[in-house]
Amino acid sequence: MTENGSAARGWETVVGLEVHCELSTVTKLFCSCPNAFGSEPNTNVCPVCLGLPGSLPVLNARAVEFAMRIGTALGSSVEASVFHRKNYFYPDMPKDYQISQYDAPINVGGHIELADGTLVGIVRAHIEEDTGKTTHVGGGGRIHDADYSLVDYNRAGVPLVEIVSAPDIRSAEQARSYVTELRAILVATGTSDGRMEEGSLRVDANISVRRAGDAEYGTRSEVKNLNSLRSLGRAVDYEAARQIGILEAGGTVAQETRHWNEEEGRTSSLRSKEEAYDYRYFTEPDLVPLVPSAEEVAAVAAALGPLPAARRHRLAELVAADGAPAPVDQLATVVGLGLDDLVAAAAGAGADARLALARASNEAANRPDEARALDPAAFAELVKLEAAGKLSATQSKSVLAAMLEDGGEPAQIATRLGFEALDPAELEAAVDAAIAAHPAEWDRYRQGDAKVAQFLLGAVMRSTRGRANGKAVAALLEARRN
């Protein structure tokens, strides 16, 4: 069922997200083992993260600073906090407990502004340690029929911040937008690389449905194993439709944890026969409270650069100066990849801001690392050449690709690629040649068949190897018609 279909029948989807974010510190949260992705298994381990008797945790100062940066960026209140032990038996933690924050988290409250302006509340953003990585062997890799499991503790003790949203999200699209925005904030604050595909960002979704206008929330399910934005969006739509199906048939939704299966495109219950988990939280006796001073909180806030929402507003103003609204998707892409300074610099150097935004959000966005290293003056020059019609859109994209590959001056690259702008006589000759070569098509064009214009334009582009300016060709064809 589509979102619109369910909305038309009077249902509203309610989503809250819990995002676990790995901090890009050099070392782990409570020991000096390297915090590194992709090392050989069990090579970044020591007595502390292996839970060996007699070892003691000591808190990583940078992890605390990063958590404070995240809280400040989310508009949270940064408060005195306490660590707790969360007790459970599972081989991903050799201590048989995970150190987390429970009833006194470091960051309380706040909100995220989505690219479309929607505000989503933040409940808390607390510090905790990551668990080891288990691999299930045999039985096709499925947990319930595994022959045995293998454990790698490199990830055990890696610092995490868990960011819990309020149930303010109302659609799959908003859920994706929230994670996109959160990722942009994490990257902008330098606290995480935000790579979902490497597990730096892991999302659990609490999903429920209710009749539009109801004040009470419905019973929610918690969906795990959402490893991409695509999975998140699909799982929200699937789970809402499943719950609506149950409710419309007169049933009740069970509060449970469900597992998203990307291949099958569905969720399944994870409820085991065992009793609900009772984690027996108690304060971690080996760690003392964390009490940031007002000066420390102020220093973190002062060092924080402009955040994505503010940067989008700045860029939107720049682009919309020509009178039309700025394209929201392009703004989000460019700010999310940290290319907004490039666009702003190009506009500052006299290039057309809208065209600069378009190039940055498409061609440059394919290679964000190289794009961030581009010489802003050269990028501005490219946009000016295209805006002046000296390069066609196709040529401009090719020159930009070459600049991203090797750097260099756009005018020189254009010459090297043979992208000298056609002089007007050459262009007219090419158009006349195309008309002469395709008399039947030309007749149809003259009788008003607009679709043939594309065909004739293509012919001119082929004969000029993409050097012709599309708008100029269209104008010439129009002039020849009369």
Partner 1 sequence: MSLPVGADYLSILRHLVALYDTGVTEGFSRDDVVYVARLARLDLEPSEVDLYAAQLGSILDHVAAVTGLDTTAVPATAHPLELANVLRPDTPGPTLPRDEVLSQAPHAEGGRFRVPPILGEAP
Rule CB under 8 A: which of 143-172 touch partner 1?
Answer: 143-144, 146-153
Pick the closest to residue 357 from 371, 367, 342 (CA basis).
342
Pick the closer one to partner 1 by CB: 25 or 177. 25
Applying CB under 8 A, the span of 10-18, 40-48, 226-234, 300-308 interacting with partner 1 comes to: 40-48
Q: Enumerate the β-bridge partners of residue 211.
A: 11
Answer with the entry of partner 1, Zn ion, none that 230 interacts with (C-beta below 5 to 8 A by kind): none
Residue 132 identity: G
Cβ atoms of 60 and 28 within 8 Å: the answer is yes
Pick the closer one to partner 1 by CB: 142 or 451. 142
Contacting Zn ion (CB under 5 A), which of 15, 19, 21, 49?
Answer: 49
Q: What is the token pair recorded at 326? A: 């700025």
**Cα atoms in the Cβ-side hemisphere of radius 13 Å centred on 265:** 5
Contacting partner 1 (CB under 8 A), which of 55, 118, 257, 463?
Answer: 257
User: What are the strands, taking DSSP E only, across 153-200?
Assistant: 159-165
Pick the closer one to partner 1 by CB: 242 or 258. 258
Applying CB under 8 A, the span of 88-96, 317-325, 332-340, 349-357 interacting with partner 1 comes to: 88-96
Matching residue, tokens 């990722």: 183
- In the complex, what is the shortest distance from the CB of residue 291 to partner 1, in angstroms, rounded to a whole number? 4
Region for residue 203 given its phi and psi (left: phi exceeds 0; alpha: psi -120 to 50; beta: otherwise): beta
Number of residues that bind partner 1 (CB under 8 A): 72
Q: What is the token pair recorded at 295? A: 């000066």
Binding residues among 17-36 for Zn ion as defined by CB under 5 A: 31, 33
Helix 308-319 with 172-188: angle, nearest 10 deg:
100
Applying CB under 8 A, the span of 133-141, 170-178, 311-319, 432-440 interacting with partner 1 comes to: 133-141
Binding residues among 327-356 for partner 1 as defined by CB under 8 A: none
Pick the closest to residue 102 from 124, 117, 120 (CA basis).
124
In whole angstroms, what is the distance from residue 34 CA to residue 26 CA? Answer: 6
Query: Does position 298 bind partner 1 by CB under 8 A?
Result: no
In whole angstroms, what is the distance from residue 435 CA to residue 443 CA? Answer: 9
Contacting partner 1 (CB under 8 A), which of 25, 165, 177, 208?
Answer: 25
Number of residues that bind Zn ion (CB under 5 A): 5
Query: Does position 32 bind partner 1 by CB under 8 A?
Result: yes
Residues that bind Zn ion (CB under 5 A): 31, 33, 46, 48-49
